[in-house]
Amino acid sequence: MSEAAAPKGLTLGELRAAGRKLHAYCTDDCGHERDLDLARIALPANLAVAEAGGRLKCRECGGKRIYTLPADGEAEAGTRKPEAGKAK
């Protein structure tokens, strides 16, 4: 599949400043997903949103292949995951 790399422009700091959350999706095993409050996770503000997943770990399965994007999907609409049904 041709998955265009997410733009490096948007950082966690910008996301937090905009009052938006980080949506994290476990691609490892369980498909667990959740919105993370950036005020409550310890990641560098200058870290690109697309790179944040490399710093996270799934709370359900412990997997480390986490896919991250802005929670509202606005900036990267094409990459938004469909609702899994058991969100939250």
Nearest approach in angstroms of CB 62 to Zn ion is 7
Nearer to Zn ion, 10 or 69 (CB): 69
Nearer to Zn ion, 19 or 85 (CB): 85
Residue 11 DSSP code: B
User: Where on the chain is the footprint of Zn ion (CB under 5 A)?
Assistant: 26, 30, 32, 58, 60-61, 63
Cβ burial 18-46 (10 Å sphere, 16+ → b, else e): eebbbbbbbbbeeebbbebebeeeebeee
Nearer to Zn ion, 13 or 63 (CB): 63
Strand partners, 48: 11
